[in-house]
Amino acid sequence: MVILGIDTSCDDTGIGIVDGRRVLANVVSSQAAIHAPFGGVVPEQASREHLMVIDTLLEQALEEAQLPLEKLEAVAATYGPGLVGTLLIGLSYGKALAWARNLPFFAVHHLEGHIAASVAAGEVFPPFLCLIASGGHTSLFEVKGWWDYRELGRTRDDAAGEAFDKVARLLGLDYPGGPALSVLAEGGDDAAHPLPIPLRKQSGFDFSFSGLKTAVALLLRQQPDIRPADVAASFERVVAESLVTVTVRAAAATGLTDLVVGGGVAANRVLRRRFQLSGLRVHFPPAELTTDNGAMIALAAGLWGGRSAPDHLGIDASPYLPLATIKGAGAS
């Protein structure tokens, strides 16, 4: 089935086209430069930018896939979680397109899109663990089957990417700070500062990064002459350590040995190296599918499989959306 997928949950406009599990097109328009002067995403501005580029992006996606509009067989769009104003742009656009062309419409949970990106990671099939670490989310899932997920843990405060962005800002780096902080850290000593490992004593699978960010802020205030590269390297090591320790504990508890890592933070080289040493079979989907994009939303809809097409035209945008509320999850 040729499916068009749209994601406008935050500051990237993503449109992708897939045919089954094959990605035919995946175009993303990033708003990072627009929000950079503000140090974070400005929701109203983000909505307007989505609206301005979405038509052109659809044309680009069709061109990349070398398909006319008439060849689309279904449309999918993210309905949550995310910023309500930005969600509404992609969701309304997708619904209108599906309705006008009389195509089935799938409302997709954003995190389910991230999980579905794993089908492009090669030979990985459920059951497996899936860690999503991005600017908006940090959650660990047990993927028992397609459309059968259990969230084992999540961040209690900031997402991992959000912590990278905030600490980068403290170090005077531009938004989004994750990649810049990582480059800075390459020249630093990661053992220079013994920052606290978050939730060190828990036996569960949650994450927490705001205390770590505060510890960095205090360090910078107390030692104004500190080497920024050392701070960056120490912070990066602790974030990676935290993500890997909790995930390895979850693997032991569930007996699962395959892990898929998604979300923007999956690009982090220290985290990748640390996971490669974890003893788990780790799969990283291609970079363009780990950050927010439309193809992953279409892939998620495709995993609906041979079931009858859902009637999702009546589903509204939902900014706070637990994964358990996926429409159709568990249904047959």
265 in contact with ligand KG4 (CB under 6 A): yes
Q: Which residues contact 210 (CB under 8 A, 6 or more apart)?
A: 157, 158, 163
Q: How far is CA 271 from CA 55, 208, 210, in A?
A: 37, 16, 19
- Tokens standing for 9? 């949950």
Single out the residue of 8, 155, 234, 291 in contact with ligand KG4 (rule: CB under 6 A).
291
- Rg for the chain, CA atoms, rounded: 20
Single out the residue of 89, 108, 212, 267 in contact with ligand KG4 (rule: CB under 6 A).
267
> Which of 77, 3, 92 is closest to 305 using CA atoms?
3
Show contacts with ligand KG4 in window 116-135 (CB under 6 A): 134-135
Show contacts with ligand KG4 in window 151-170 (CB under 6 A): 161-162, 164-165
> Could you tell me the smallest distance in angstroms from the CB atom of residue 165 to ligand KG4?
5
> Could you tell me the smallest distance in angstroms from the CB atom of residue 175 to ligand KG4?
8
292 in contact with ligand KG4 (CB under 6 A): yes
Q: Which is nearer to ligand KG4, 129 or 271 (CB)?
A: 271
Q: How far apart are CA 84 and CA 47, in angstroms?
A: 9
Q: How far apart are CA 307 and CA 303, in angstroms?
A: 9
Single out the residue of 264, 285, 294, 302 in contact with ligand KG4 (rule: CB under 6 A).
264
Order of all β-strands in the sheet with 2-7: 22-30, 12-19, 2-7, 74-80, 105-109
- Tokens standing for 282? 């780790």
Q: How far is CA 258 from CA 74, 81, 103, 106, 202, in A?
A: 31, 26, 36, 28, 23
Q: Which residues contact 203 (CB under 8 A, 6 or more apart)?
A: 249
H/E element, 258 = strand 258-262
Q: Which is nearer to ligand KG4, 2 or 247 (CB)?
A: 247
H/E element, 260 = strand 258-262
Q: Pattern of binders to ligand KG4 over 169-208, x per CB under 6 A?
A: -------xxxx--x--------------------------
Q: Which is nearer to ligand KG4, 10 or 119 (CB)?
A: 10
26 in contact with Zn ion (CB under 5 A): no
Single out the residue of 26, 29, 31, 134 in contact with Zn ion (rule: CB under 5 A).
134
Q: Is 164 helix (H, G, I), strand (E, B) or coil?
A: helix
241 in contact with Zn ion (CB under 5 A): no
Q: Pattern of binders to Zn ion over 272-311, x per CB under 5 A?
A: --------------------x-------------------
Q: Which is nearer to ligand KG4, 14 or 104 (CB)?
A: 14
> Could you tell me the smallest distance in angstroms from the CB atom of residue 225 to ligand KG4?
26
> Could you tell me the smallest distance in angstroms from the CB atom of residue 278 to ligand KG4?
18
285 in contact with ligand KG4 (CB under 6 A): no
> Could you tell me the smallest distance in angstroms from the CB atom of residue 182 to ligand KG4?
4
Phi (first) and psi of residue 253, to 5 degrees: -70, -35
Tokens 């619904």 sit on residue: 95
Show contacts with Zn ion in window 56-75 (CB under 5 A): none
Site residues (CB under 5 A) for Zn ion? Answer: 134, 292
User: Which chain residues interact with ligand KG4 by CB under 6 A?
Assistant: 10, 134-136, 161-162, 164-165, 176-179, 182, 263-265, 267-268, 291-292
